[in-house]
A and B are shown apart, each in its own frame.
Chain A
Amino acid sequence: METKTKQQTELEKKQKVTITGAEAVVKCLLAEGVDLLYGYPGGAIMPVYDELYKYQDKLHHVLTRHEQGATHAAQGYARATGKVGVAIATSGPGATNLITGIADAQIDSTPMVCITGQVGAHLLGSDAFQETDIVGISTPVTKWNYQITKASEIPEVMAKAFYIARSGRPGPVLVDITKNAQFEEFDFEYKKCTSVRSYQPVPSMNIQSVEAAVELINNAERPFVVWGQGVILGEAEEEFKTFIEKAGIPSASTLLGLSALPTKHPLHVGMVGMHGNYSPNKLTNECDVLIAIGMRFDDRVTGDLNRYAKQAKVVHFEIDPAEVDKNVKTDVAVLGNVKETLTAALSLLKANSHKEWLQEFRNLDAVEFDNVIKNDLFPTKEGLTMGEVIKQINETSEGKAIVVTDVGQHQMVASRYAEFNQTKSNITSGGLGTMGFALPAAIGAKMGAPEREVVAVIGDGGYQMTIQELGTILQTKAAVKIVVLNNEFLGMVRQWQQLFFDKRYASTVMTNPDFVAIAKGYHMAANRVTKREELATAVQEMMQSKEAYFLEVCVEKEDNVFPMIPTGASVSDVRLK
C-alpha cells in the first residue's frame, strides 16, 4: 500500500514538467505564438541561448549585428504583421543598446517584448561585470518592465509582458532575467494573461459621447478627418473607410497613419504635418469640425497650437485617455478602440457628400502640383530628385510594396509620394525620428511578410548608422531591396541650416564610402545610378531580383523638401518654397 502511494507521487512529479528558467523562457515564447526573434548573445543570457539552440526548429533566432538592429527588426516585424516583435540581448551594453529601439517603439506605439539577461541576483547592486540597472534605465521608455530574480516568476511575468505589449495602446515591455533565474529548475506551467487588475487597456465606450460626436459631424458643412496609426493598430481600416465614405469627409493622414487608406482613394487628401501636403495643412484652419481618429496631435502635425483649428469644433476618437486634451482641447472625446467606436458612430451617421468642400482641397492640390510636385516628379533640371525615384518605385511595384523609410528628407519625400494599396505598408520612425531605423526594420518587415516586396528607402546618413545589418541580410538571405538616396549631406539638417542658419553647413557634409563596393563586400547585388535615363531600368532590375539588392541613387545635393511648416508657425503658414 505504502509503496504504491510512493510510486504514485513519483509519477505525479514526472507529469509536472520540471525545467530550467532558461527553457521556460523559450516555452513561454512558443506559447505566445512567437516563431521569430532578433537578438545578440552574451554572458548573462547564455542559458537562454543554449535553449534557443535546442529549440531552433520551432523558434528562429536572427542574429543581428548590433542590439539596436534587433529592436528595429522586431519593430519592423511588428509593424508589418500586427504581432508582437521580440528582441533579446545580454546584460550591460547589450541591454543599453536596446534603448533607442525601445524608445522608438514607445513613442510609435509598437508592440514589442525585449528580454535581457542580468547578472546573478546575488551580484545585483555590486557593480558586477556587465551589470547595469536596465529596469531603471528603461522605465521612462517602456509601457511596463520587470526584473525576474527567481525562475518561478518567469511564466506569469512573460504572459503579462505579452499581454501588456499588445493590448490597448500597444508599446514596448522589457523583462530582465537574472542569470540564476535562468539556471534554476522549477515546475513549469503556463497560463496566458487575459487581464491585469490595475490596467484597463481599452476604455469602455460611452454611447452619449458617440452620439454627441456624430451630431457634430452630421451638422458639419466643412468636416475634416485627420487619422493616425490608431486606425491600423485597431485593425479598423474597413470601418474607417466606410465611415468617411458614408459622410463624404475629406481625410488626411498623419505620417504613421499612411497606408490605412489607399493613397488613390477619392477622399484621401494627403498627409498633414511639417512636410505634409498643402491642402490638408492649410484647410485645417478652415474646417468647421475637425475629426481626429487614432492620432495624438503631435507638434509636427499641429505647428503652433494657438493657431491650430481654433475655428473648429474638435472630435477625438482615441484609445488613450491621456491623449485627450493633451495638446488640442476637444469638444467631444470618444474613448475606445476606433474599430468599436467608429462602428457605433456609423449607424448614427447621415450619408452626405461635401463636394464643394472637397473641391477646395483639390484646388489647393493643383497649387501644390504647380509649385512643388511637378518639379519633384517631372524634373527638367539635370540632377535626379528623390521624388522621381519614389515615383519609379511606385510604378514598378504598382503600389504593392511595403516601404520602409529612415529619417530625414528622403523620409518626407517617400511619405509624400509613395503609393500604398494596402495597409501596414508604411513603416517609418515617426515620433522618435530614429536615424538608422530603416535597414533593420526592413529586415524584420520582410521576415514578417515574406510574400511582400519590401523596399527600404534610406538617406546616406541614416544608412551608415546601422549599415552593419547588411551582415544580417547576408546570413539570413532576407530579400530586402535597399535604396539609398545619396545627396552627400545630412539633408534635412542642411535644409534647416540653409533656411534658418544662413547656410552655415555645420557638420552636415558627408564624405561617403563606395556604398556599392560595401554591398558587394556582403555579396549583395548592387548598382549605382547617377543619370535619369538609367533610373527606370535600375529600379526594375532591383525589383525583379529574388534576392536582396542594393541600389544607390546619387541625387541632387541641395534639394529642399517642400511644403514646409517652419517650427512655431501655424499650419496656415505652410510654405511652398
Chain B
Amino acid sequence: MNTKNTYTISIYTENNVGLLNRISAIFLRRHLNIESVNVSKSEIKSVSRFTLLVKVTEEQVKKIIGQIEKQVEVIKAFYHTDEATVYQESCLFKLSTDLLIQNDEIQTIINQSKSRVININKNFFVLEKSGTKEEVEELYHILDKHGIMQFVRSGRIAITKDEMPVSKLLQLIKA
C-alpha cells in the first residue's frame, strides 16, 4: 500500500487556458513531482486529454484523482498502471554528421535501435526514437559515448487497454 509505483493519469477536460495551472497546483501543494505531462486533443471533439506520469503510492494517486475530478472543467480522470496501458515516449538526438560518415558503429546503432534520421545536413543530423522510457534511456546511454549535441524527450503518451467510458459519460450528461 505504501510502495511507490509509476502511474499514468489520464484526464479528460474542457479546453480551458487556466486548467493546466489548476491541475499542476494540486501536485505542487502536496510536494509531488510530475514526471512528465502531455496535453493533446482526445478522441472526443472539443475535449482535451492530459496525460501525466507520476511516481506515488496508490493511496496518493486515488486522492489526487479525487482532487482533479473536483475541478469544474475536468470531465473525468483515471489512473492506470503500466500494465494497463500501451505507452510511448518520443525523443530527438542532435548528433554530428561526421559521426555518420566516419563511424560505422553509428549506422548499426540506428538500425538496431529502430530509430530514424529525420533531418540531415553537412554539420549535424537529427535522430528520432519512440519507445518506452527504458528503450530511450538505453539509446541515450549508447550515443552518449559518441557525443550528443542536443537531446530532448517528450512526455509519456498512453492508450489504455480497457475502454475509456468518457464518451458514454458525456452522452449521459447531455441526455
Q: Which residues of A are in contact with B by a Cβ distance under 8 Å?
A: 135-136, 139-140, 143-146, 164, 195-200, 320-322, 324-326
Contacts of A324 in B (CB 8 A): 66
Nearest 5 pairs of A and B residues by beta carbon: A322-B66, A198-B75, A144-B72, A199-B72, A140-B25
Closest to A144 in B: B72
Q: Which listed residue (B13, B63, B173) contacts A322, Cβ 8 A?
A: B63
Closest to A327 in B: B63
Scan B8-30; emit 1 where CB is below 8 A from any A CB, else 0. Answer: 00000110001001100100010
Partner of A139, one of B22, B69, B173: B22
Q: Shortest distance in angstroms between A147's beta carbon and chain B's nearest beta carbon?
A: 8
A-B CB contact pairs (8 Å), 15 listed: A135-B18, A136-B21, A139-B18, A140-B25, A144-B73, A146-B18, A196-B72, A197-B75, A197-B173, A198-B75, A321-B69, A321-B70, A322-B63, A322-B66, A322-B70
| CB closest residue in chain B, given A323 | B66
**Using a CB–CB distance below 8 Å, which chain B residues touch chain A?**
13-14, 18, 21-22, 25, 29, 62-63, 66-67, 69-70, 72-75, 170, 173-174
Additional A-B contacts beyond A198-B74, A321-B69, A322-B67 (13; CB < 8 A):
A136-B18, A136-B21, A139-B21, A139-B25, A140-B22, A140-B29, A143-B72, A197-B14, A197-B75, A198-B73, A321-B70, A322-B63, A324-B66
| Residues of chain A contacted by B73 (CB below 8 angstroms) | 144, 198-199
Name the prevailing secondary structure of the B interface residues: helix
Q: Which residues of B contact A143 (CB under 8 A)?
A: 72
How near does chain A come to B4, taking the closest CB pair, in angstroms?
A: 19
Residues of A close to B18: CB separation below 8 A: 135-136, 139, 145-146
**A146, A195, A321, A322 interface centre (most CB from chain B within 10 Å):** A322
* Chain A interface helix/strand/loop/mixed: mixed
Query: Which one of B14, B29, B70 has the greatest number of beta carbons of chain A within 10 Å?
Result: B70
Q: How far is the CA of A136 from the CA of B14 in the complex (A)?
A: 18
**Which one of A136, A140, A164, A321 contacts B72 once the chains associate, using CB atoms below 8 Å?**
A164
Taking the nearest CB of chain B, how far is it from the CB of A507, in angstroms? Answer: 28
Nearest CB of chain A from residue B17's CB, rounded to whole Å: 8
Distance (Å) between the CB of B63 and the closest chain A CB? 6
- Residues of chain A with a CB closer than 8 A to B74's CB: 198
Query: Do residues A326 and B72 form an inter-chain contact, with CB atoms below 8 A?
Result: no
Cβ distance B94 to chain A, nearest Cβ, rounded Å: 32
- The chain A residue with its CB closest to the CB of B28 is A140
**A135→B74 CA distance, assembly (Å):** 18
CB pair A325 B29 closer than 8 Å: no
Complex: A327 Cα to B15 Cα, angstroms: 32
Cβ-closest chain A residue relative to B73:
A198
**In the assembled complex, which residues on chain B have CB atoms less than 8 Å from the CB atom of A135?**
18
- Nearest A-chain residue to B74, judged by Cβ: A198
Specify the chain A residue showing the minimal Cβ separation from B66. Answer: A322
* B24 (CB) vs chain A CBs: closest residue: A139
Hey, which chain A residues are within 8 Å of B75, CB to CB?
197-198
Interface centre among B18, B25, B72, B73 (most CB of A within 10 A): B72
Complex Cα distance, B75 from A196, in Å, reads: 10
Task: A145 to B69: give the CA distance in the assembly, Å.
Answer: 16
